[in-house]
Amino acid sequence: MWSVKPVFVVLLLLLQLSVLDLKGQDAPPRDELASGSSSSIDLALPDAPSPSDSRASGAQTIAAPSVEERPFTKWSLRLEVNSLGPGFGLSTSLGRHFDLRGGANIFGIGPDFEIDGLHYNSDVKLRSGNLRLDWFLWRRNLHVSPGLLYFNNYFTANTRVPPGQHFELGDDAFTNSVNDPVHGEARLEFPRRVAPMVTMGFHNLLPGHPKHFFMPLEFGAAFTGSSKVKMDLNGTACQQDGCFTFAENPEALRSLRQEIGKINDSLSDVPIYPILSIGVGYRF
């Protein structure tokens, strides 16, 4: 029977011999060293190691940060159109994978519309500001951007019903008076002025690698909380049993609360403000 120990000793000796043989191939012959001939000995000083040689030999070198790694060395300006209204943004680099970005959106519009016989003359003002940290996940294009949104959007509407016209609130129908038409005001309120937000998008949709111009695309949401509609009505309305002042009639006010409650129940399912943005920018 073969013993394991002698076999292991033989294998270890063979391994040592092979290592010594490899070292012997790299070393210069003894005759050349002993002869001292100038043809076999190079007396020139070695060249300074190149950066690639130092990396290959495992030497640690401290390189100066590149331009992309230095904070506040690159700036870009963008113009964008999004669900917060048209606006602008200014960003600067914080490093190879991070940018700091701030912006603002300002817009106003006043569309008219009608719901169940009530006419609304609206006044919409979109006013907001934001501060975001762009974290680039891949080649400074795809990014995730957490941040804060200052949300000061303003939605109001003057409500009226043409004299003698029919309108509905909740499950009840009314007829507007001629001498004292029903009128009022509706508004949309948000519970938060400052809200956390997170977006994701592409820094540049343009093909290739343009030097200065870029086209950003972004989508996400701001957690503003559920908005609520509030509305007040005044004037005189009529039903089959007679006419009454709207603000003083319990049945009419109940119908108004029922109508507003349906809208607010739908809005309570959406505690966020969606953000979708596209624009064009210039990199300095």
Q: Residue 40: pLDDT above 80?
A: no
Cα distance between residue 258 and residue 83, in whole Å: 30
- Is-contact 225 165, C-beta < 8 A? no
What pLDDT, on the 0 to 100 scale, is given for residue 26? Answer: 46
Q: Residue 156: pLDDT above 70?
A: yes
Cα distance between residue 179 and residue 176, in whole Å: 9
Q: Residue 47: pLDDT above 90?
A: no
Residue 182 banded pLDDT, cuts 50, 70, 90 = very high
Please check whether the domain covering 67-283 is classified as CATH 2.40.160.170: yes
DSSP state of 24: H
Q: What is the pLDDT of residues 223-238, one digit of tens each?
A: 999 999 999 999 999 9
Residue 213 banded pLDDT, cuts 50, 70, 90 = very high
Residues contacting residue 109 through CB under 8 Å, at least 6 positions apart: 124
What pLDDT, on the 0 to 100 scale, is given for residue 165? Answer: 93
Residues contacting residue 264 through CB under 8 Å, at least 6 positions apart: 228, 229
Q: CATH 2.40.160.170: which residues of the chain?
A: 67-283
Helix and strand numbers (H, E) in the chain are 4, 17
5-9, 189-193, 260-264: which range is least confident on average? 5-9
Residues contacting residue 74 through CB under 8 Å, at least 6 positions apart: 67, 68, 92, 93, 283, 284
Residue 145 banded pLDDT, cuts 50, 70, 90 = very high
What pLDDT, on the 0 to 100 scale, is given for residue 73? Answer: 86
Q: Residue 43: pLDDT above 90?
A: no
Q: Residue 15: pLDDT above 60?
A: no
Mean pLDDT of 277-284: 94
Residue 71 banded pLDDT, cuts 50, 70, 90 = confident
- The helix (run of H) or strand (run of E) holding residue 94 is none
Percentage above 90 pLDDT, the chain: 59
Calculate the alpha carbon distances from 83 to 148, 149, 193, 249 in Å.
Answer: 16, 13, 17, 40
What pLDDT, on the 0 to 100 scale, is given for residue 274? Answer: 95
Calculate the alpha carbon distances from 137 to 85, 142, 277 in Å.
Answer: 27, 6, 19
Q: What is the pLDDT of residues 241-257, one digit of tens each?
A: 889 998 889 988 998 99
Percentage above 70 pLDDT, the chain: 76
14-20-24 Cα angle (round to 5): 140
Q: Residue 279: pLDDT above 70?
A: yes
Residue 41 banded pLDDT, cuts 50, 70, 90 = very low
Q: In this structure, is the dihedral angle defined by the CA atoms of residues 140, 146, 147 and 151, taken in order, positive or negative?
A: positive
pTM: 0.68
Residue 142 banded pLDDT, cuts 50, 70, 90 = very high
